[in-house]
Amino acid sequence: MLYEIKSKKTIDQVCQDLEKAVVEHKFGVLTVHNLKETMKKKGVEFDNECRIFEVCNPHQAKRVLEKNMDFSVALPCRISVFIEGESVKLATFKPTAMIAQFNTPELQSVATEVEEILIKIMNQASR
């Protein structure tokens, strides 16, 4: 269900490299949620670093949404970058696993294509 990878880089470096990789693969970063900062603004102390990138390729999103608007609950794709123990990790839900939940087998090829690109983006950012 999840694709996860570790990096030896700092979280800040991974995040910078992730933004570059997203653009190189013709996706866009819609927003980045910094959970530590957001929780602090809400009066909640949260010590762990976690940044969630919402990324999208609008052409792929359009293909999916034209077939089944229920997918709107799963879009945009998210890549989480966080510290776990001594490691920086990147994680995302596999689109191929999510597509199975929506009973739309004709979109399997789109999910596979998007998943392959997300994995490339994450691998590139982690190295």
The pLDDT score that the predictor gives to residue 103 is 82
Across residues 100-123, what is the average pLDDT?
92
The token pair that represents 11 in the structure block: 């979280």
Residue 66 has pLDDT above 90, yes or no: yes
Q: By the 8 A CB rule, do 47 and 87 touch?
A: no
Domain ranges of the chain: 2-126
Determine the average pLDDT of the residues in 102-107: 86
Q: Under DSSP, is residue 22 helix (H, G, I), strand (E, B) or coil?
A: helix
Class for the domain spanning 2-126: alpha beta
What is the per-residue pLDDT for 100?
82
Per-residue model confidence (pLDDT) at position 101: 84
Average pLDDT, the chain: 94
| pLDDT over 90 (residue 41) | yes
Res. 98 pLDDT band, cuts 50 70 90: confident
Residue 81 has pLDDT above 90, yes or no: yes
- The pTM of this model reads 0.92
DSSP per position, 50-105: EEEEEEE-HHHHHHHHHH-GGGGGT-SEEEEEEEETTEEEEEEE-HHHHHGGGT-G
